[in-house]
Structure 1
């Protein structure tokens, strides 16, 4: 999903909300018998439709609880949620993202989840929604950063599919250049993006993007080689120009180069393979990201929570709100309706319940994701307040470098300083 830089605005509004939080806002209970809860999420039409079906099923089981749905696209969701929080009108239940959850926790906007059943979830996944020993975000599912590969483009270029257990960053660049030279498609659609740079840093410097304390964990000189790698790929024709990269990032998922067969490889979260493979004649295969050593055990891949469900601290009905979250993540009926659309279900029992109903592409995705258990490392620290702006900053400097407007050293320094300012 395209994530625009809304971090500074969200921080300011959420901070205001933390100072003015009260029982105002959230849902309402007009009488002792009926509870109304507002539930907000981001997503597309498919998500909106099945989420309403889940709501209907929950309300049938709990006729004394009414769920009022509110939804938006990613682009407008965080502005809307921040504005509602500032006005003390925060929905009772909200879909929450890893980039923002710590910000909302530290501003006192989220209620501790102490009544949601967590037995079918791994401790590692639950830790991603926890802060100082308390759970504030119930993980919905998991996803992992992946190199999507179009085998048909590889075949057309006469290039063999790589062994993703042993390939290196240099091999990615060489393979992409060879495909660009021998076909009408680009070998790689874009740079490795913010999450890809994060994995690159974990491999090359042993650092994450940020420290446990929420500070920038790397120095500008640490990422100069990353930009130099992009420059070599640009010179070889392995990746397109800055303007083409910018255009591709602005396109709908189905219209991106990897989804239309105009590129052989691109980095995405693994659960996006379904949408990216939706065009006729396009079938993408998820591959592990490369490693520096040529051993996937050292690739520093990790499971990222696809999203969370959280409860507003000022809700009048925390028990009922948690009851609904429990249904969302633990009910097999909800799992059947959702399947993999919100990520690989974090609940192991739900995964088993839906396994036989998945199509071939979905089964491949599930098996790929589960197969990473042998190589994944610990997830990065919980991102700090202001982290919502980091993706846009990294994307912008990748493009500025590809446009030739800054050198590798200038891109690294300015990107570092701007991220440091956003987190500060």
Structure 2
């Protein structure tokens, strides 16, 4: 999102915050007609099964009608901000971690005090909680992983690493060896992105990108070592050229290097490996992130809420809206239809109910996510307003450095300055 669009969105949200939000009228009783608008982003598969969920809910509650509003990620947030500024916000909103805090702080989300959270881990529920109140009901979880292609390892004559003990140095050595031994494949597809940078900061400095108060938690000098690591990977041939990295980031998911056998490793959220393995002959497996110490307990991995359901603070029907959210996260129908499409189910009962229905690839992702339960660290603080710009900023300065347009010190300084400005 460019600065102008981001500023327009923030202004639209802030303008709504100045208005007094109140539920107009009481909740409809059984027999009275209630209409709720529900908005979400996603692809065709998500749209299709979500409509089935709506139909199932309406069958159980004939007096409630759910009007669907959906589209792709591109444009979703600008559209939602425009609706919010015009006091035309849908009643139920599929919400993302990058935006939820600004919607909470601008008074647009209802406290979810009637949604049953008993089947969800407390740590996951806390990701949608601020000041003790739940504003975003987590749908599922995901975790950052190194997506690995065992076939590329085998063709290069390189053993798969022990991901309980490997270090960043070992990752670099393995990636370099694969690039040297392969024809047309790299050890590592590209840099580690903003989420990988978060992990790197946590391991090296004990803090991630932002504080609980939404302030930037690192200084420019803290990022110099990160860029120097990228420089070593570039010099050794472990990663492609800067232009190839740029091209790979702009490619469709199924055309990326990791999805086409053009790289042995890349950094992704674990549930994305299902789509990345869709091409014939490509079967990716998740590896834990390396650590500085060689101990997986120090890898500072964490569970991220895949997405949330939130309710508009100005809805005319807060009880019915929460009833629908409860259905979406707790019903058997939701678990069976959704499976892993909106993340690893946060509802532990739903997770067990679908386990036998998953294919080998999906089960591997589910089990690898569960294996982290004893080693994960606390999730990062709720992202402040403006944090949605961070991914693009980190990506850009990774490439600026790899193109040789900035030194490690310059890239760290400029990246820090831009992120700091974005969060103001």
TM-score range, shorter chain: over 0.9
How much does 1:362 deviate? 0.7
Does the CA contact (< 8 Å) of 1:8 and 1:422 recur in 2? no
1:299 matched residue in structure 2: 299
Does the CA contact (< 8 Å) of 1:20 and 1:88 recur in 2? no
How much does 1:375 deviate? 1.1
Aligned-partner SS, 2:266: strand
How much does 1:21 deviate? 5.2
Task: Indicate how the Cα distance of structure 1 residues 255 and 9 shifts in structure 2: closer, same or farther if over 3 A, else same.
Answer: farther
Query: Relative to structure 2, which stretch is displaced further, 102-111 or 71-80?
Result: 71-80
Aligned-partner SS, 2:187: strand
2:170 matched residue in structure 1: 171
1:50 matched residue in structure 2: 49
* 1:67-106 correspondence to structure 2 within 5 Å: 67-106=66-105
Aligned-partner SS, 2:74: helix
1:207 matched residue in structure 2: 207
Alpha-carbon distance in 2 for matches of 1:62, 1:252: 40
Structure 1 residue runs of 5 or longer lacking an equivalent are none
1:125 matched residue in structure 2: 124
How much does 1:20 deviate? 3.0
2:231 matched residue in structure 1: 231
Aligned-partner SS, 1:258: coil
Alpha-carbon distance in 2 for matches of 1:176, 1:315: 52
Task: Indicate how the Cα distance of structure 1 residues 243 and 315 shifts in structure 2: closer, same or farther if over 3 A, else same.
Answer: same
1:338 aligns with 2:338: yes
Alpha-carbon distance in 2 for matches of 1:145, 1:253: 17
Cα RMSD for the two superposed structures: 1.7
Alpha-carbon distance in 2 for matches of 1:187, 1:10: 40
Cα shift readout 1:199-244 (whole Å, capped 9, x = no counterpart): 0000001111001111000000001010010011111111112221
Does the CA contact (< 8 Å) of 1:190 and 1:245 recur in 2? yes
Does the CA contact (< 8 Å) of 1:8 and 1:389 recur in 2? no
How much does 1:419 deviate? 0.6
1:274 matched residue in structure 2: 274
Structure 2 residue runs of 5 or longer lacking an equivalent are none
* 1:311-326 correspondence to structure 2 within 5 Å: 311-326=311-326
How much does 1:253 deviate? 1.2
Alpha-carbon distance in 1 for matches of 2:396, 2:86: 32
Query: Relative to structure 2, which stretch is displaced further, 410-419 or 248-257?
Result: 248-257
How much does 1:59 deviate? 0.8
1:402 matched residue in structure 2: 402
Does the CA contact (< 8 Å) of 2:23 and 2:313 recur in 1? no
Runs of 4+ displaced beyond 6 Å: none
Cα shift readout 1:67-108 (whole Å, capped 9, x = no counterpart): 111112111111111111111111100011111100100000
How much does 1:12 deviate? 2.0
How much does 1:32 deviate? 6.9
* 1:151-166 correspondence to structure 2 within 5 Å: 151-166=150-165
1:416 matched residue in structure 2: 416
How much does 1:4 deviate? 7.6
Task: Indicate how the Cα distance of structure 1 residues 21 and 406 shifts in structure 2: closer, same or farther if over 3 A, else same.
Answer: farther
2:382 matched residue in structure 1: 382
Alpha-carbon distance in 1 for matches of 2:100, 2:362: 28
How much does 1:255 deviate? 1.3
Q: Compute the TM-score of the two structures, normalised by the length of structure 2.
A: 0.96
Alpha-carbon distance in 1 for matches of 2:2, 2:54: 29
Alpha-carbon distance in 2 for matches of 1:21, 1:9: 21
1:10 matched residue in structure 2: 9
Does the CA contact (< 8 Å) of 1:187 and 1:238 recur in 2? yes
How much does 1:13 deviate? 1.6
Alpha-carbon distance in 1 for matches of 2:7, 2:154: 46
Aligned-partner SS, 1:170: helix
How much does 1:181 deviate? 1.0
Aligned-partner SS, 1:245: helix
Alpha-carbon distance in 1 for matches of 2:217, 2:373: 26
Aligned length: 420
Alpha-carbon distance in 2 for matches of 1:413, 1:400: 12
How much does 1:250 deviate? 1.5
Does the CA contact (< 8 Å) of 2:23 and 2:317 recur in 1? no
Task: Indicate how the Cα distance of structure 1 residues 411 and 255 shifts in structure 2: closer, same or farther if over 3 A, else same.
Answer: same
1:188 aligns with 2:188: yes
* 1:105-124 correspondence to structure 2 within 5 Å: 105-124=104-123
